[in-house]
Amino acid sequence: MTAQSSQREKHTTIAIVFCGNCNPAIDARSVANQVRRLLPECEFQHAESNEAGALLVISGCAVDCATRPRRTMKTVVIAGESVGGAPCPKALLAETACGQLRLITS
């Protein structure tokens, strides 16, 4: 086993999925980029990844129409100005989601 592969095994893999962004109340891409910066120890992959241990769903509004993958995963949902169904200020969406992702992946 190489040092690089050993380091890779320590990463938590999180799948990410977005809605169609038809009526956004938030900038979903910006929130996703903030989450990536706040969780440098995690690897983010396409939602259909079989390696993911958790799923981050980012919907631009409260309708939360993002399509989920068929397999069951621990999930954190950002839907408009809410995280996990609880209201959340826009400025705290990424930070709040990261806290929930850390909880479900630890």
What pTM, to 2 d.p., does this model score? 0.87
- The structural domains of the chain, ordered by start, are 3-105 (3.40.50)
CA distance 41 to 37: 9
Residue 80, phi then psi, degrees to nearest 5: 60, -130
Q: Is the pLDDT at 20 greater than 80, yes or no? A: yes
CA distance 39 to 26: 20
Of 95, 52, 58, 50, the C-alpha closest to 76 is 58
Q: Across residues 16-33, what is the average pLDDT?
A: 96
Per-residue pLDDT reduced to its tens digit, 48-106: 777 888 999 999 999 999 999 888 899 999 999 999 999 999 999 999 999 999 999 98
Identify residue 19 by its one-letter amino acid code: C
